[in-house]
A = this chain, B = another copy of it.
Amino acid sequence: MEKVTVAVETPYDVLIDHDLLKHAAAHLEDLIQGKKVLIVTDENVASFGYLGNLQEAIVGITSGVDTYVLPAGEAQKSAENYVALQGHLATLNYSRSDVIIALGGGVIGDLVGFTAATYLRGIDYIQIPTTLLSAIDSSVGGKTAIDLPQGKNLVGAFYQPRRVLCDLDTFQTLGETIFEDGCAELIKYGMILDGDLLGQLMDRESPLNALSGDLGAIVKRCVEIKRDVVLEDEHDLGLRQMLNFGHTIGHAVEQASHYKVSHGRGVATGMILTQIMAEKEGLTELFLTERFNKLLNQYHLLNQLNLVKDYDFEDLTAAMTNDKKRRGGEITEIFPDSFGKCRLETMPFDQYAGYLAAIIADLKADKLPIVLDGDEVA
């Protein structure tokens, strides 16, 4: 078993292994023994049996397990679900010493984390990520949030989980495109913070998949990177912004597509456009677009560009402008500097919008210096 400890105020362990769900009682005993436990998940995750397995594994040591199953998808990360979930906890008389488990991808993790952060002003929660993306990114670090119609992640809290169980076996039922979404954040880590990891990904014989022998090691490496960033800047005042490489454009694409484009593919779109922008405008010395393009294509992470290019540019920049205004008048963007290194650069939003308009124009005219690999995916 791999273990990464995140030494925030109340330190917690991220356990990475096969078969963790089956032995969840042993791995969670100190946190849930004799307590009421609410497991929140989505219909897909429940349909693959993970909810039943987890419930069966832990019910004996708790004072009772309740379950709460939502439909799948980003639309569930809503204020309505947040309020309903709070009401459910209150109706069941959950106390400050009871526990909530988020079993699922980043959508469930973010919603449950924010609920736990604020029910009775904070109760314990445990993350059991079941997508690659949530395992390597959203389940660790304590950023929790819900979306508003006005934009993504606008309401939330910094609130760390008490433990993270990453059962690698659960990835085997992930649809291919969902596994690939996780690879977008994986490639992000390589680009911004770990040249070795990036090289490893570029050089491997066959693309990473749910059965790859080194999957556990790769997940662990990503969790370590995330841990290091979070420990430096838990509340997102500086360094942690690096993790947003590709996310400025990514969030705007997600929102403008009404969440038909997934988070992972939104981020992939954002990363490649940001890299092209950086090369074109002389914002980086690192000319990487071609190899980056190839790597993203291995995971089919760019074909949604065929959709994005038909978007109304106004919609896209409106979403982005509002987002940026909310984060302050200027924009801080993350640019790759060399292999595995990146730089935060703050500029007036208008300057950024100019760069962006140039790239979108190229995209629309099929003049981007990249190739797509085939079918559209959204």
Contacts and interface: CB of A to CB of B under 8 A. Distances in A.
B328 A90 contact: no
A325 B97 CA distance: 10
A234 to B, nearest CB: 11
Nearest to A143: B121
A7 interface: no
B119 A155 contact: yes
Given A86-B79, A87-B150, A155 B118 contact: yes
A154 B327 contact: no
A236 B123 CA distance: 13
A149 B91 CA distance: 9
Contacts of A156: 118, 120-121
Contacts of A149: 87
A95 B155 contact: no
Given A95-B328, A325-B95, A90 B151 contact: yes
Contacts of A96: 326-328
Given A86-B148, A121-B145, A148-B87, A328 B97 contact: yes
A121 B236 contact: yes
Given A93-B325, A326-B95, A86 B154 contact: yes
A158 interface: yes
Nearest to A91: B150
Interface of A: 79, 83, 86-87, 90-91, 93-97, 114, 117-122, 143, 145, 148-151, 154-158, 235-236, 322, 325-329
Given A86-B154, A95-B325, 20 more contacts: A83-B83, A90-B148, A90-B150, A90-B151, A90-B154, A90-B322, A93-B325, A94-B326, A95-B329, A96-B327, A118-B155, A118-B157, A120-B154, A120-B326, A121-B145, A121-B157, A121-B235, A121-B236, A122-B158, A157-B157
